[in-house]
Each structure stands twice: as C-alpha cells, then as structure tokens.
Chain A
Amino acid sequence: MEHDEIRLALVEAIRKAETILPCDVVAALEQAKESEQGLARVQLETILKNAEIARAGSIPMCQDTGIQTFIVRVGVSYPGLSSLRALIVDAVSQATREIPLRPNAVHPLTGENTGNNVGDHVPHITWDLIDGDRCTIHVLPKGGGSENCSALKMLPPGDGITGVKRFIVDHVVACVGRPCPPGIIGVGIGGGADLSMKLAKLSLLRPVGARHPEASIASLEEELRDLINESGIGPMGLGGKTTCLDVHIEYAHRHPASLPVGIIYQCWADRRARVEIDADGRVEVM
C-alpha cells in the first residue's frame, strides 16, 4: 500500500518535472525577454508560450524527455530504504507508458532501445546518506543535447582562478546554440575528475537565482554569469544578451597537484521536481 503510494508519487514527480517549468526558471525567462529585442525576443516568447501549453495540457515541454536522473538523500534511519531502488525503476517504466515519455535508454554500442527508459545503470540514481529518518528524492530529467555539452578539464593548479574562469567561459562560448540556451551552467570545482562532474550536476538542483552560501563563491557565480552573457550568443545562439540564466558552483577540496573543473550544461528546460517521504510513510510531491 505504502509502496504504491511512493511509486505513484514518483510517477507524479516525473510528470511534474516534464510538464511544468519551475517558476524560478519562468521568472528568469520573463525577465530576460524584457531585455531582448528582435529574434532573441521571439525565441524567449516561443519558449514561454511552449512552457504554458505544456503546463496547461500536461504535455512534456520538450520531446527529449531526457535520461531519468534521481538524487536520493535518504536518512540512515529511514525505514523504507530497501525498496526504493525498485520503486524508482518501476515508476520510470510506468511514467514512460502513461505520460508518455520518449524511450531514451539505448544500448551504448548497438543502439538497441529498451523501450521503457530502464537499462543498465539507468534510471541513474545517486545515493546520498544523511542523518535522520526522512527521504528526499530529487527528479532531474536531463536532455541529451545539453548533456553533450558537458566538459571536464584537469587544470594545472598554477592556472588558478583565472584559468578556471577562462575554461568555463571558453567552453560555454564554444557550445554556442547547441545546448538550447539560455540555460544554467553547473560547475564543480575540485575533488577529482568524477567528483567535480558530480558536483556540477548536483548544483543544478538549486533554483535559478539561488546563490552559493559562501560570499566569495556567490560572487564568482554572478561574475561568470555576467561574463558569459557578454558573449552575444543569445537565446538559441541567434544573438542576444541572454546566453545563460545562471551559473551554479559547488566545490570540494582537492589534491594539491590537481585543479579539476567539471561543467554540466542545463538547457532552458531546467526540469526539476522532488518527492518528500517521512518515517511514517507520508508522501508529498513538490
């Protein structure tokens, strides 16, 4: 019974993420639209109109419904841990049929499609153990076009902050219109090759406009956002003032000899939702 409720909540969260653009993203797009003219403005108007049609009709806002990605922050005392993986997998399969989603899980070499968005290691689940007895499941469907614009660079530490800034700006500029700008640039600094990429993806859970709690990182986020927006790439790469809506940075301490920087590019369809479950099994989709 409780399992059904969690599975249905997960299906609902996937539907919400796929069909309702978060209000912080809508607000940022509205604001960007006011600053643009001509073709750039037409692109933003079209995106906003599309988001409204998707919301009103409960239709996936983009035909690339993504790879279903989950970040599970689960308390060590949460009683339902053992069934969560199976529930997430079942929910993805059900959502694929019911919403419907595009079957996007193909064999990496043969291209054979599993038909239900379930395959080896997908849906992709990141497990994060926390204190307490609650569980939060973040749903982050991630499109292929923007994921193709990911990057990792192992900088020599001597390149310092200037090198970090240059790498991020140069990479975003090299991507031009391919990742469907204006989007969110997720950045992970430090840790190691894999951790910097993971932090970059986790940074996308933050709403647009939410700054890093440390002032120096928050100011670096704003500086990079403004520098990227001076590139003139604009909405969809057709020119304009708005190339990104935000830059989010997370960091980890690093080895003295390494300065890894990971970038995960998120398109304007910054799809997010979450399920909150408490120890008594009360479930809420947010």
Chain B
Amino acid sequence: MERMLATPISEQEARDLHVGDTIYLTGTMFTARDEAHLMMLEHGAPFCVEGLALYHCGPVVKQDDGKWKIVSAGPTTSARMEIFEERFLERFPVRIIVGKGGMGEKTLAALEKVGAVYVHYTGGAGALAARAISEVTNVYWLSELGMAEAVWALSVKEFGPLTVSMDSHGKSMYNKITGQVQKNLARIHSQIERREG
C-alpha cells in the first residue's frame, strides 16, 4: 500500500503501518547518528520530538547568506544505532525511524512496545533526498558534534519512497530475507564444491 503521512504522526497511525507499505513523508524530520543519540540520551531532546521522524543521516550542508541549506542527505547505516535505539525510543517516542540496512531484535521489540516503524530509504540517494527537504528549521550541537553528527531539524515534503521494513507487529523484512539468503547460500556452496570435485 502507498500512502502519504504528515507529522505529527499518532501512535495509531504508526500501528496501522505494515511491512511492505510504501510511504511519503511530509512535515518534520530530525537527523541523529551515533553521537547525537548519545547526546540526547544524556542531555534530553533539544525540542519536542514526539510524533516526528528520526533520520539516521549525516548530511552535507552549506550556508548561503547565513541560511543553512542541505546539499546531499541520504541515509547512513542504521545498524550502528542498534545499541542505543531501544532506550532512545522509550524516552523519545518518534513514530518513524528512517535509515538503511535495517536494525536488530531489540529495536524491533521497542517498535512494538512504543508503536513506531522503521522505514528503509535507498542508501546513497543523497541528491534525491535533498530535493525533498524544503528547509533547515534548526541545528543543535553543531559546534560540539560537527556537520555529520549534529542534530538537523528538517522540513520535508513528500520525502520518499520509504519502505516499511520493520513494523510494530513484530515483523521484520530483514529476518525474512536473511532466511532465504541462507538457503541460497547452501545451494551456492554446493555449486562451488561440485565445480572443483
């Protein structure tokens, strides 16, 4: 199913999403990578993030006439944030996590508990993403963390396509694909052995 979503997103809206759905997001996203997760867990959120979208992203940003502008902003590898995300979600109930590559069992359980989804965005699609970001509304901890690790609050319009790959019903697309890949790998191994035998 394909749908348009606007922030703030309610818990019910998040729970209505299922693995395989495609969404386009309008409203407010904020970036946070490893360092920003640590910073927010230690010092709290710099603004109210409930119902917003968390974006695993370290953008390229430039300043034109004193105004920040996003140059390129694709997703970073979400797996690095697995060590923080359960605690993060329980404390900061965002409804959508945007990233690439998927996350683990602890995050999957937290999505179910809190009522949120993880959505996949195409890795490296930085130029396309930048086009859907209409404005940088604020930046936090820029001097402490630097461009890639700072928290950038972004106003976005029809940001996507985003694929729901982990939902609040305990389903993960990655678990399913991993199972299939392991079966295929066994077949590949036997092909390698056969060719040499």
Which A positions have Cβ atoms within 8 angstroms of B?
39, 42-43, 46-47, 49-51, 53-54, 57, 59-65, 100-104, 106, 111, 113, 115, 143, 145, 148, 160-162, 165-166, 169-170, 173, 176-178, 180, 223, 227, 230-234, 236-239, 267-269
Contact = CB atoms under 8 A, between A and B. Distances in A.
Nearest to B79: A178
B60 interface: yes
A239 B123 contact: no
B60 A100 contact: yes
B165 interface: yes
26 contacts: A42-B163, A47-B124, A50-B124, A50-B125, A57-B127, A62-B125, A64-B58, A64-B76, A64-B126, A102-B60, A102-B147, A103-B148, A111-B35, A113-B146, A169-B188, A176-B181, A178-B77, A223-B195, A227-B191, A230-B184, A230-B188, A232-B184, A236-B101, A238-B173, A238-B177, A239-B180
B59 A177 contact: no
A232 B178 contact: no
B58 A46 contact: no
B136 interface: no
B173 A63 contact: no
A19 to B, nearest CB: 8
A269 to B, nearest CB: 5
A61 B58 CA distance: 14
Q: Is the interface of B mostly helix, strand, loop or mixed?
A: helix
A237 B127 contact: no
Interface in B29-50: 35
Given A43-B122, A54-B127, A103 B146 contact: yes
Contacts, number: 162
A141 B120 CA distance: 25
B191 A65 contact: no
Interface residues of B, number: 50
A50 B126 contact: yes
Contact of A239 (B127, B131, B177, B188): B177
A175 to B, nearest CB: 10
Contacts of A148: 77
Contacts of B161: 42, 46
| CB-based closest 4 A-B pairs | A180-B123, A54-B127, A63-B126, A50-B128
A100 B71 CA distance: 8
Contacts of B147: 102-103, 113
Interface string B120-150: 1011111111110000000000000011100
Interface centre among B59, B76, B123, B130 (most CB of A within 10 A): B123
B1 interface: no
Contacts of A269: 124
